[in-house]
């Protein structure tokens, strides 16, 4: 684990004072199990959030990494005897989990920061809540493009350029970025969530350049090892890679980037439900929101969180969020299984 910076350390101290009641020395320490995103997200949580929460609540946190679909699959398998307390999952997959009865309502008396969350991140019935704003768009290696005379991509169709043959990582439809590619392509062809035929046609052209279809939602290694020079990816993950000095940029495509809201949820019948509710409240603390933005480039969902101008330019701010294309998750989830079958037959096997 990387050392905690002085700024993050100060924020952790603030969280320790505000997130939980004073630790009870006589209570046996619990172990809160959090299932969430891997890669840079996991790194940021372990550095910026978990240490302060463990200290303030006199508990331990076990973090299990995986994509949103992986996490929900675990919740379904454990439905009769949950082993996970908190689930961090994308908004679309979260809607599926709600319909399956896997998640519990938040307690406003414990999650007091709910009152400060922007409307976009509030979820029906307060079953879970959005804790960060992001966007699905295009990522590309600026050095490779410059050296090979390729124009910077400005739309999804640009990823079908002949110069990217075998150099493109396409996300699988089993995770959010792949679904995003399909819906962006659908809009370009005059379709929508209700008419995705143009989406499959558009993605098929781009997928001809794919070296692989990633299911992890983290394509950092493909970029670092030179196996990929472009992908459909999320802004925060691109900024994390750029922070390490890698020549990569994020593009909000002309067709319109798609909003991606990371949600935090208490699992229904969680073994440590009270701790889980407190963990949710911790993620909505202004200090945690700012720490996550600084460490992982996630746009805050809590009102009034002030960021330095240079950082504000790199995250999906609340003004930018208003410009993102909203999605009808009820329609999407009703059809997603059929779309997945079609994707496997028409895209990944073509």
Instruction: Report the alpha-carbon distance of residue 308 to residue 306 in Å, rounded.
Output: 7
The answer to whether the beta carbons of residues 15 and 52 sit under 8 Å apart is: yes
**Angle subtended by helix axes 197-207 and 329-346, to nearest 10:** 40
What pLDDT tens digit does each residue of the chain (350 aa) get?
444 444 444 444 445 444 554 443 333 347 999 999 887 778 878 988 999 999 999 999 999 999 888 999 999 999 999 999 999 998 988 999 999 999 999 999 999 999 999 888 899 999 999 999 999 999 999 999 999 999 999 999 999 999 999 999 999 998 889 999 999 999 999 999 999 999 999 999 999 999 999 988 789 999 999 999 999 999 999 999 999 999 999 999 998 889 889 999 999 999 999 999 999 999 999 988 998 898 889 999 999 899 999 999 999 988 887 777 778 888 999 999 999 999 999 999 86
Instruction: Report the alpha-carbon distance of residue 226 to residue 249 in Å, rounded.
Output: 15
Tokens of 117: 């969350």
The answer to whether the beta carbons of residues 139 and 153 sit under 8 Å apart is: no
What are the φ/ψ torsions at residue 233 (nearest 5 degrees)? -150, 180
Residues 6+ apart with CB under 8 A from 209: 159, 160, 161, 164, 165, 166, 167, 168
Give kind and range of the element (H or E) at residue 169.
strand 168-171
The answer to whether the beta carbons of residues 290 and 308 sit under 8 Å apart is: no
The HSE-up count of residue 256 (CA atoms within 13 Å, CB side) is 17
**pLDDT, position 349:** 83
**pLDDT, position 166:** 97
The answer to whether the beta carbons of residues 103 and 128 sit under 8 Å apart is: yes
Tokens of 62: 């076990």
pLDDT in tens, 21-46: 444 333 334 799 999 988 777 887 89
**pLDDT, position 19:** 52
The HSE-up count of residue 70 (CA atoms within 13 Å, CB side) is 11
Enumerate domains of the chain plus CATH numbers.
6-133+260-321 (3.40.190.10), 135-258+325-346 (3.40.190.10)
Give kind and range of the element (H or E) at residue 60.
strand 60-65
Tokens of 185: 């392509």
* CA distances from residue 124 to 14, 94, 190 in whole angstroms, order as listed: 30, 11, 30
Give the distance, in angstroms, between the CA of residue 276 and the centroid of all CA atoms in the same chain.
Answer: 19
Kindly report the pTM of this predicted structure.
0.77
Instruction: Report the alpha-carbon distance of residue 309 to residue 278 in Å, rounded.
Output: 31
The answer to whether the beta carbons of residues 159 and 209 sit under 8 Å apart is: yes
Tell whether the torsion through CA atoms of 162, 164, 167 and 171 is positive or negative: negative
**pLDDT, position 20:** 59
């Amino acid at each position: 684990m990387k050392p905690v910076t002085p700024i993050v350390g100060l924020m952790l101290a603030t969280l320790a004072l505000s997130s939980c009641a004073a630790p009870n020395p006589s209570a046996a320490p619990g172990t809160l199990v959090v299932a969430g995103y891997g890669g840079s997200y996991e790194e940021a949580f372990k550095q910026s959030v978990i240490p302060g929460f463990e200290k303030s609540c006199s508990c331990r946190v076990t973090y299990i990494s995986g994509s949103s679909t992986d996490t929900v699959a675990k919740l379904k398998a454990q439905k009769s005897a949950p082993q996970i307390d908190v689930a961090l999952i994308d908004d679309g997959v979260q809607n599926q989990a709600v319909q399956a009865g896997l998640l519990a309502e938040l307690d406003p008396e414990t999650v007091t920061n709910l009152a400060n969350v922007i409307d976009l991140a509030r979820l029906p019935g307060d079953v879970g809540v959005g804790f960060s704003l992001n966007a699905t768009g295009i990522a590309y290696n600026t050095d490779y493009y410059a050296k090979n005379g390729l124009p910077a991509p400005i739309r999804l169709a640009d990823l079908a350029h002949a110069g990217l043959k075998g150099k493109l990582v396409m996300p699988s439809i089993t995770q959010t970025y792949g679904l995003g590619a399909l819906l962006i392509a659908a809009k370009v062809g005059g379709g929508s969530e209700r008419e995705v035929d143009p989406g499959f046609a558009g993605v098929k052209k781009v997928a001809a350049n794919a070296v692989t279809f990633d299911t992890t939602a983290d394509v950092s290694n493909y970029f670092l090892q030179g196996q990929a020079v472009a992908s459909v990816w999320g802004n925060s993950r691109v900024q994390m890679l750029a922070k390490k000095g890698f020549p990569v940029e994020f593009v909000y495509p002309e067709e319109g980037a798609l909003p991606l809201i990371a949600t935090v949820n208490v699992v229904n019948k969680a073994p440590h439900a009270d701790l889980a509710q407190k963990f949710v409240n911790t993620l909505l603390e202004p200090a945690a929101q700012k720490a996550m933005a600084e460490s992982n480039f996630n746009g805050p969902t809590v009102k009034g969180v002030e960021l330095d101008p240079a950082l504000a330019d790199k995250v999906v701010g609340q003004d930018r969020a208003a410009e993102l294309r909203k999605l009808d998750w009820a329609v999407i989830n009703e059809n997603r299984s059929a779309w997945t079958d079609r994707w496997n037959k028409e895209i990944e096997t073509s």
